[in-house]
Amino acid sequence: MSQEILKLTCRQLRDEIAKGEIKSSDAALAVFAQIEKYDGPIGAFLNTFKQDALQKAKEIDAKIAKRQNIGALAGVPIAIKDNMCTTFGTTTCASKILENFRSPYNATVIDKLLAADAVLIGKTNLDEFAMGSSTENSGLKKTVNPWDKSRVPGGSSGGSAAAVAAQMCFAALGSDTGGSIRQPASFCGVAGLKPTYGRVSRYGLVAYGSSLDQIGPLTKNTEDCALILNVIAGHDEKDSTSVDEKMSPMCDYLAGIEKSVKGLKIAVVPQLFEGADSEVVNAVKSAIDIYKKSGAEIIEIKMPHFEYSIAAYYLIATAEASSNLARYDGVHYGHRTKNAGDYIEVYTKSRAEAFGQEVKRRIMLGTYALSSGYYDAYYLKALKVRNLIRSDFTAAFGKADCIMMPTSPTTAFKIGEKTADPLQMYLSDVYTIAVNLAGVPAISIPCGFDKNNLPVGLQIISPAFAEEKLLRIARMFENQTDFHQRRPAL
Amino acid sequence: MTNIDYKIIVGLEIHVQMAAKTKMFCGCELAFAAEPNSKVCPVCLGLPGALPVMNRKAVEFAILTATALNCKVAEFTKWDRKSYYYPDLPKNYQISQYDLPIGSNGFIEIPVPGGATKKIRIRRVHLEEDAGKNIHTAGPFSQVDLNRAGTPLMEIVTEPDLNNAEEVKSLAIELQRIVRFLGVSEADMQKGHMRFEPNVNLHIKKDNNEYKTPITEVKNLNSFKALEKSVAFEARRQLDNFLETGECLQSGNKKTFGWDDIKEVTVLQREKEEAHDYRYFPDPDLVPVVVNEKWLSQINSRICELPLGMQKRFVSDYSLSDYDAGVLTSDKATADFFDSSVKAGGDAKRICNFITQTGLKIANEKGCSVAELGVEPDRLAELAKMADSGQVSATAAVTIFVEMTQSKEQPGRIAEKLNLIQKSDAGELEKIVDEVIAANPQAVEDAKSGDKKSKKAHGFLMGQVMQKTKGTANPQVVAKILASKLKI
């Protein structure tokens, strides 16, 4: 029974629970049994809340028994990337500096999930402060890829992707600053949606690169992405950068998801396929062929500034990060050194002791980029490049409904393969970063497997606030393939 | 003997706490002297994940001030992060405004001796959030109170157009009046609502050469007295230092001083201007502020007559002394109350006296403004008319004024009740004068004598009449009758 439950999608589970066919508490028990059985070696979770989750599941079962109104995610066990603030458990960002930090408030997305009657089962591992592409930068735990435990799950939302792939939750929230939802989704063979910047409130998401960060779902399929986006999207008065719904109205992303897009025009950028592994290129090209066969028009375009996105990103994101992470100083909360002679040493030693290498590297890079005398040459220049990249996307969307390309140039790489060379690690985000710089939405869905039986991700990018259409386009592929239904042998 | 002439050059930075109800970027209440760390939330504590949301009211206040200071108001402005590490700054950056302040290139007119005014240019007006407070009284460690963290502060920077300590003080007082008139700040010095940082140096002419002394900045002055004295002290200290060492202004030799309120001396804090790199960059958590015409005109429709203009009008239209007009325009409520009372028909000088000699005293005791004493302008005007026409004496008018603060009745009715209507009927008063003359022959003789006893005796007889009438006799009428009876 419990294995059967675990195979369901969020939408299926929610419907069964609502009908009274499955008890929410059984779904929760199934998930915790799976975690107890498999998360030892996989290491997706930093923290689980079995007691609280079972309690909440029972409350939902009681609601259903009493025929009370229930939310859109009633009884569905969901995991949260541990860079979103929760009043339950700790909020660590996988950093020693926040190892014991308890937030006195919930992120807006957490409140929204709770209001939709979701059962929040635990907090997942990530690269420290979401800085990384493999989850190897976690200061607290190692996470492996459920498809091959010698490989990384991708990152930074590696814990969330691994948890969904290993059926240890029905969906998870991740955050995406330069590909941190899409790339691990691709590596773990699940769907991962990065919504338009401003579509989902960032309030309570521990900031990495504030102008790039966006929360989104990692799920078993696009339908579930739509379901969760319905719950978490919307203007939040606590986040000034969340979008005014009068300007771009919300819609029901789920309602029309099965409607295929007539006269679909897909843009591809041939130059971009050059840098990817051939197996990845083949899988993505086959996927595009499937669209072509079902009537889509394929348009070849150029995006002349795309190649500068990594350079621009590592100035903008690190500049913002250097400022965002200044608050972790040992004075007010978090790790404080025991060896400070004066207050300056409280800062320097607390930070030196508790931040990991990659975080320190990015803080230094960002500090440098913002320094007087360098600001114009680095930060300001990067902002100009960002505008050019935006205009590449605008031009592309003048011709096509979406752009398709690989999510990542490779499938999941070996643990330790790229840790010695940060630049190689940065290059694994070559396809995802430009999307964050442009602020547009994109989804990664499984579109094939390589010879090692590792999933390949197809990235579909759409204009800002066109998530409804983006999800329909992705769903068209799922309706003709079964890659999204394959699960790793654990 | 060398020939020395010098000019004091002062530019002023002023921080003004806005009279907003909540903090600059969160909903926390602004409270003075509350329990430490009781007025805080995730945003002003700088907790992970918290995001700022702009206080629109504070922005409107700053725009209003910028307009009143004749500034160009930015059509597009934004928020910048200013980075530095200090325990009272929970995010280790302050949200401020760097290259696009709300207001720029304005001026303020300040009163200078002789009833004239001087224009001082305003370089910029911008908004920022205040830091918390470090407390060092608990023992071998420091404590941080973040109640003040996030308080909306307006920073106003003048050009170095001030040339002596008196002008510096005059600007500070004038600015206090302006922000109070506009209602954008309580500008309560005791509560630290206004803090000053003068930048001082001297331009010295010596033997036909010109020298500039190193600029010093005196930090964090929170009274007019400290401001005035520190500038005067710095000018003297710099002159002495120049004569002794000949040290001149060079890039990088700006010094920072504090002010010792007890010894009344400036105290060196930092020898050299530290090469502070604040790494300003636009705050990605806040959207830029677009000040469109509609919003600007809505805000500026709230602008009122400013204190100096009002003061000048009281002098020219109501023939008040500059001093009296200054007292009346020290706060808007008093100024408006005075103006309305005069417009309701009262004589300006008399209303002014009511307010400055009696009203302010009662208001002070009650801890409110004159306008809040419960005396409406039309009733005060009525009282002034009664005093002018001799219906009540000047002394009785004061009694009636005091009574009016307790009662809603018209001054005439109060005068009747208290039996304060003056007796001006000559026939009736003549009878009383006759009685007094008959009863006091010695005094009458003295009064008639014409020598030095006469004045005293005359006063005595007047007093007797007043006593018999319980103070209600019109003294002018009595004096006339008495004079004719005594033939003096």
Among residues A46, A48, A202, the alpha carbon closest in space to that of A120 is found at A48
Query: Measured between CB atoms, which of B42, B49, B87 is closest to A331?
Result: B87
Tell me if A89 is assigned to some domain. Answer: yes
Distance of alpha carbon A392 from alpha carbon A437, whole angstroms: 11
Residue A233 DSSP symbol: B
Peptide bond into A156 cis (omega under 30): yes
Domain boundaries, chain B: 11-199+271-294, 307-417, 426-486
B4's enclosing H/E stretch is strand B4-17
Distance of alpha carbon B318 from alpha carbon A109, whole angstroms: 64
First to last CA, chain B: 69
- The contact set of B with A (CB < 8 A) is 42, 45-54, 81, 83, 85, 87, 90-93, 142, 144, 277, 279-281, 284-287
The backbone region for A333, taken as left when phi is positive above 0, alpha when psi lies in -120 to 50, beta otherwise, is beta
Give chain A positions within 8 Å (CB) of B91: 326-327
Residue A380 DSSP symbol: I
Residue A129, chain B, CB below 8 Å: the answer is: no
Closest CA–CA distance from residue A85 to any residue of chain B (Å): 7
Query: Measured between CB atoms, which of A85, A240, A370 is closest to B286?
Result: A240
Tell me if A58 is assigned to some domain. Answer: yes
Q: How do residues A385-402 score in pLDDT, each as one tens digit?
A: 999 999 999 999 999 999
Q: How far is CA A15 from CA A21, A23, A75, B289, in A?
A: 9, 11, 10, 45
Give DSSP secondary structure letters for A286-343.
Answer: HHHHHHHHTTPEEEE---TTGGGHHHHHHHHHHHHHHHHGGG-SSSSSS---S--SSH
Give chain B positions within 8 Å (CB) of A205: 49
**pLDDT on residue A1:** 65
Closest CA–CA distance from residue A470 to any residue of chain B (Å): 27
**pLDDT on residue B270:** 78
B107's enclosing H/E stretch is strand B103-112
Tell me if A379 is assigned to some domain. Answer: no
Question: Per-residue pLDDT averaged across A364-389, rounded?
Answer: 96
Residue A90, chain B, CB below 8 Å: the answer is: no
The residue of A237, A315, A343, A346 whose CB has the most chain B CBs within 10 angstroms, and thus the best one to mutate to test that interface, is: A343
Tell me if A22 is assigned to some domain. Answer: yes
Strand duo B216-218 + B209-212: pairing: unpaired
Q: How do residues A215-242 score in pLDDT, each as one tens digit?
A: 999 999 999 999 999 999 999 999 999 9
* pLDDT by residue, tens only, chain B of 488 residues: 467 899 999 999 999 999 999 999 999 999 888 999 999 999 999 999 999 999 999 999 999 999 999 999 999 999 999 999 999 999 999 999 999 999 999 999 999 988 789 999 999 999 999 999 999 998 888 999 999 999 999 999 999 999 999 999 999 999 999 999 999 999 999 999 999 999 999 999 988 899 999 999 999 999 999 999 999 999 999 999 999 999 999 887 788 999 999 999 999 987 765 667 999 999 999 999 999 999 999 999 999 999 999 999 999 999 999 999 999 998 899 999 999 999 999 999 999 999 999 999 999 999 898 999 999 999 999 999 999 988 888 888 999 999 999 999 999 999 989 888 887 777 888 888 888 888 888 888 888 887 778 888 888 888 888 888 877 788 888 888 888 888 75
Task: Look at residue A156 and tell me whether its pLDDT is greater than 90.
Answer: yes
CB distance B90–A107 less than 8 Å? no
B396's enclosing H/E stretch is helix B394-404
Residue A339 pLDDT class (50, 70, 90 cuts): very high
Distance of alpha carbon B204 from alpha carbon A164, whole angstroms: 77
Residue of A nearest to B90 (CA): A327
**pLDDT on residue A99:** 97
- What would the two tokens of residue B377 be? 């302008």
Are the beta carbons of A223 and A11 closer than 8 angstroms?
yes
Residue A371, chain B, CB below 8 Å: the answer is: yes
The residue of B92, B99, B133, B280 whose CB has the most chain A CBs within 10 angstroms, and thus the best one to mutate to test that interface, is: B92
Residue A3 pLDDT class (50, 70, 90 cuts): confident
Tell me if A293 is assigned to some domain. Answer: no
What count of Cα atoms within 13 Å lies in the side-chain half-sphere of residue B390?
Answer: 9
- pTM attached to this predicted model: 0.91
Distance of alpha carbon A57 from alpha carbon A77, whole angstroms: 9
Query: Measured between CB atoms, which of A103, A326, A379 is closest to B47?
Result: A103
Q: Tell me the Cα Rg of chain A.
A: 21
**pLDDT on residue B419:** 83
Distance of alpha carbon B303 from alpha carbon B309, whole angstroms: 13
Q: What is the mean pLDDT of chain A?
A: 97
Distance of alpha carbon A117 from alpha carbon A115, whole angstroms: 5
Residue of B nearest to A346 (CA): B87
Closest CA–CA distance from residue B56 to any residue of chain A (Å): 12
Residue matched to tokens 């010698």: A150
Tell me the one-letter amino acid at A173.
L
Tell me the one-letter amino acid at B265.
V
Counting residues of chain A whose pLDDT is more than 70, the rounded percentage is 100
CB distance A98–B48 less than 8 Å? yes
Query: Measured between CB atoms, which of B49, B280, B285 is closest to A107?
Result: B49
Distance of alpha carbon A208 from alpha carbon A489, whole angstroms: 34
Query: Measured between CB atoms, which of B46, B90, B284 is closest to A210?
Result: B284
Give chain B positions within 8 Å (CB) of A379: 281
Residue of B nearest to A317 (CA): B284
Give chain B positions within 8 Å (CB) of A319: 281
Number of domains in chain A: 1
Distance of alpha carbon A205 from alpha carbon B49, whole angstroms: 5
Task: Look at residue A244 and tell me whether its pLDDT is greater than 90.
Answer: no
CB distance B49–A375 less than 8 Å? no
Are the beta carbons of B84 and B92 closer than 8 angstroms?
yes
Write down the number of H helices and E strands in chain A. Answer: 17, 11
Q: Domain span at residue A178?
A: 2-262+460-485
Closest CA–CA distance from residue A401 to any residue of chain B (Å): 29
Residue A244, chain B, CB below 8 Å: the answer is: no
Are the beta carbons of B444 and B486 closer than 8 angstroms?
yes
Distance of alpha carbon A83 from alpha carbon A94, whole angstroms: 8
Tell me if A335 is assigned to some domain. Answer: no
Residue matched to tokens 């603030």: A85
Q: Does the CA dihedral B368-B373-B376-B382 come out positive or negative?
A: negative
**pLDDT on residue B273:** 58
CATH number of the CATH domain containing A44:
3.90.1300.10
Tell me if A102 is assigned to some domain. Answer: yes
CATH topology of domain B426-486: Arc Repressor Mutant, subunit A (1.10.10)
- Three-state SS for A94? coil
CB distance B51–A203 less than 8 Å? yes
Interacting residues of A363 by C-beta distance below 8 A, sequence separation 6+: A318, A321, A322, A325, A355
Give chain B positions within 8 Å (CB) of A326: 83, 85, 91-93
Counting residues of chain A whose pLDDT is more than 90, the rounded percentage is 95
Tell me if A466 is assigned to some domain. Answer: yes
Give DSSP secondary structure letters for B403-465.
Answer: HHTT--S-HHHHHHHTT---B--HHHHHHHHHHHHHH-HHHHHHHHH-STHHHHHHHHHHHHH
Tell me the one-letter amino acid at A257.
I
Give chain A positions within 8 Å (CB) of B99: none
Among residues A187, A150, A188, the alpha carbon closest in space to that of A410 is found at A187
- What would the two tokens of residue A113 be? 């999930």
Residue A352, chain B, CB below 8 Å: the answer is: no
Query: Measured between CB atoms, which of A320, A331, A333 is closest to B284?
Result: A320
- What would the two tokens of residue B315 be? 């002098």
Distance of alpha carbon B487 from alpha carbon B481, whole angstroms: 10
Q: How do residues A473-488 score in pLDDT, each as one tens digit?
A: 999 999 999 999 999 9
